[in-house]
Chain A
C-alpha cells in the first residue's frame, strides 16, 4: 500500500478522468437538458466563460451525472464491495428519472467507476475511502475554484470530441 496522501492524489486523477471522459462522451456539453441547466450555462457565459462548458456545469448541478455516480459508487464499494456499487448505480438511475433526465451518463458512470474502484481496491493499490476524498477534490476543481476557467477547459474538451 502507498501512503494515504499519494493514494488520494492518484484517486483524484483517476476519478477526474473517469467522469470528465464519460460526461463529454455522453454529450452533456451539447445543450442544457432542462431549462435550469440552460439558465446556469448562460449565467456562466455572462461572467466570461464558454457556453458549452457552462451547459455542462448546469447539467452537473441539475441532475445526478457521472460525477454523482462516481461518488456514490465509491461509497458503495467502501461498504459492500462490488454489489454496493451496483446498488448505487440503481440509486443514481432513480435520481435521474426523478430529475426528468434520460440517465445514460449517470448509470454508465456509476457502473464503470464501480469496476475501476473495485479492481484498484482488490489489487491493493488504492483504498475505497481515498476515492471519496479524491472525488470531492475533483468536483471542487471543476465547480468550486473558478467557473470561467473551468468552463473554458470543458469547452476545449468538447471541441476536441466534436
Chain B
C-alpha cells in the first residue's frame, strides 16, 4: 500500500533529508570515532522532527529527554573507546619495554 503523500511543511522536509544524509554518511565512514559527529547530526534532525510533528508540552519534554540521553550515549561510547585505546597502548609499552623499565627501577 502506497503511503499517502500529504502536504509537508518545509522545516520538517529539511530535517528529514538531513537525517537520511547523515545515515548514509555513518555507513560510509570507516573510523569509529569519526562516525560520532554524523550521529550527532542525526540526533539534531530527529529532535527537530519530534518537535515539528508533535507540538505539545510533553512533546518538547520528550525531545529534550531524547537529546540529552543521546548525547550521554555518545559521550560514553567515545570515552570508553579512548580509555581502551590508552590501556592497549600502556599494555604494549609494558610488554616491549619491560627490560627498560626494569633497568630504570634498578637505578
Contact = CB atoms under 8 A, between A and B. Distances in A.
Q: Do chains A and B touch in the complex (CB under 8 A)?
A: yes
Interface of A: 4-5, 8, 34-40, 43-44, 47, 57-58, 60-64, 67-68, 71-72, 75-76, 78-80, 84, 88, 91, 94-95, 98-99, 129-130, 132-133, 135-137, 139-140, 143-144, 147
A79 B50 CA distance: 13
Interface in B57-89: 57, 60, 63-64, 67-68, 71-72, 74-83, 85-86
B71 A68 contact: yes
Contacts of B36: 40, 61
Nearest to A39: B82
A67 B44 CA distance: 9
Interface of B: 9-11, 14-15, 18, 21-22, 25, 31, 33-34, 36-41, 44-45, 47-48, 51-52, 55-57, 60, 63-64, 67-68, 71-72, 74-83, 85-86
A95 B67 contact: yes
Chain B interface mostly = helix
Contact of B48 (A62, A64, A71, A84): A71
Chain A interface mostly = helix
Contact of B14 (A34, A91, A137): A137
Contacts, number: 149
A38 B52 contact: no
Contacts of B75: 34, 36, 61-63, 99
B21 to A, nearest CB: 7
7 contacts: A36-B76, A62-B71, A67-B44, A72-B64, A79-B55, A99-B75, A133-B15
B13 to A, nearest CB: 9
A136 B67 contact: no
Nearest to A95: B68
